[in-house]
Amino acid sequence: MKGLGSVLGLVSCAGSALLWLIFLYANPYGRQGITTGTYVVGWAMIALACLGAYLAATNRVAGMAAVFVLSFVPLGLYLAGTPGIFRWIAAFDLGLFLAAMILWFRTR
């Protein structure tokens, strides 16, 4: 690990995965509209967050940036405009991008 960038990446990915789990299984706003497709997308986002955590722990900047793009566009961007706790998914996605930038500038 390389300090701040790795820790920020790990925290961002853990927070994102936790919020996706809450969205799927303990949604405080109700269960209406959650279909099988929602579970597939939710678990794909959790898998991306786990991959991002691994990449942050091993200081793989390009991989972290790719995970950011895949998780932020379009889901994170959409969630940024929603009310409630799930807008924090977008904030955690941006935290992963910031972590990747910190690691990238430290290696240059």
| Count: domains in the chain | 1
Residues of the chain with pLDDT under 70: 1-2
pLDDT tens readout for residues 28-57 = 988 888 899 999 999 999 999 999 999 999
From residue 39, alpha-carbon distances to 45, 60, 62, 77 in Å are: 10, 28, 28, 19
Domain that holds residue 18: 4-107
Report the C-alpha gap between 52 and 64 in whole angstroms.
6
Taking the model in full, what pTM does it have?
0.93
